[in-house]
């Protein structure tokens, strides 16, 4: 594998890690911030909802939203596949 491919894959892995942190921040702030109009919470919602919404439709509903956990696990699988490629 050439250097450019390695850098591209490592950059993608870093972006995935940042996305995981954003999902965690959204979960934690959802317990603290009750104002959906809060600009920071709206930012987190806008960034993370494209991944969480489809998962929410697949995962059976209940009192607890498991979509962030499933998203985190899926992202971990993607990272492992990318690490295997490098």
Task: Give the integer Cα–Cα distance in Å for 39 and 45.
Answer: 10
pTM for the structure as a whole: 0.90
Instruction: Provide the pLDDT for residue 27.
Output: 94
Q: What is the pLDDT of residues 24-76, one digit of tens each?
A: 999 999 899 888 889 999 999 999 999 999 999 999 878 889 999 999 999 99
Q: Count Cα neighbours of 62 within 13 Å in the Cβ-side half-sphere.
A: 7
Instruction: Provide the pLDDT for residue 28.
Output: 94
Is the pLDDT at 78 greater than 90, yes or no?
A: yes
Instruction: Provide the pLDDT for residue 35.
Output: 86
Q: How many CB atoms lie within 10 A of CB 13?
A: 17
Among the listed residues 2, 1, 3, 50, the one whose alpha carbon sits nearest the alpha carbon of residue 22: 50
């Amino acid at each position: 594998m050439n250097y450019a491919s390695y850098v591209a894959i490592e950059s993608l892995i870093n972006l995935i890690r940042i996305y995981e942190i954003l999902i965690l921040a959204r979960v934690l702030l959802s317990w603290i911030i009750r104002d959906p109009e809060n600009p920071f919470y709206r930012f987190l919602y806008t960034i993370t909802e494209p991944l969480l919404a489809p998962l929410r439709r697949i995962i059976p509903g209940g009192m607890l939203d498991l979509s962030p956990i499933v998203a985190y696990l899926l992202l971990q699988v993607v990272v492992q596949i990318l690490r295997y490629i490098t």
